[in-house]
Amino acid sequence: MTKSNNPKKLIPANVRVMIALVSSPTLMVIGMLFYTLFTDGWQSVSIPMLIFSAIGALCYYMVITGKLPKRG
């Protein structure tokens, strides 16, 4: 058996759980974003709402896949 030069590095389960717990309030912000989009339109969406929604989506990507996002 040979070792691969590019082993997959996954985030440990305990770290993934901690990320999910810390980023759980962003689920409310994501819900508020969708509610605002459907009721008031995109003109009422604020910049902080978009930023926090993007951070929450990134955190839950890491929690679900177990991988860090790739850079470049």
pLDDT tens string 12-69 = 999 999 999 999 999 999 999 999 999 999 898 999 999 999 999 999 999 999 998 8
Cα 59 from Cα 15, distance rounded (Å): 11
Note the pTM of the prediction, 2 decimals: 0.74
- Residue found by looking up tokens 């999910």 in the block: 20
Q: Report the pLDDT value the prediction gives residue 21, as an integer from 0 to 100.
A: 93
Instruction: Answer yes or no: is 6 within a domain.
Output: no
- Residue 33 resides in a domain: yes
For the chain, the domain total comes to: 1
Whether 1 maps to a domain, the answer reads: no
Within a domain: residue 70?
no
| Cβ contact 17:62 at 8 Å | no
Is residue 71 in a domain? no
What is the residue range of 25's domain?
Answer: 13-65
- Compute the radius of gyration of the chain from its Cα atoms: 17
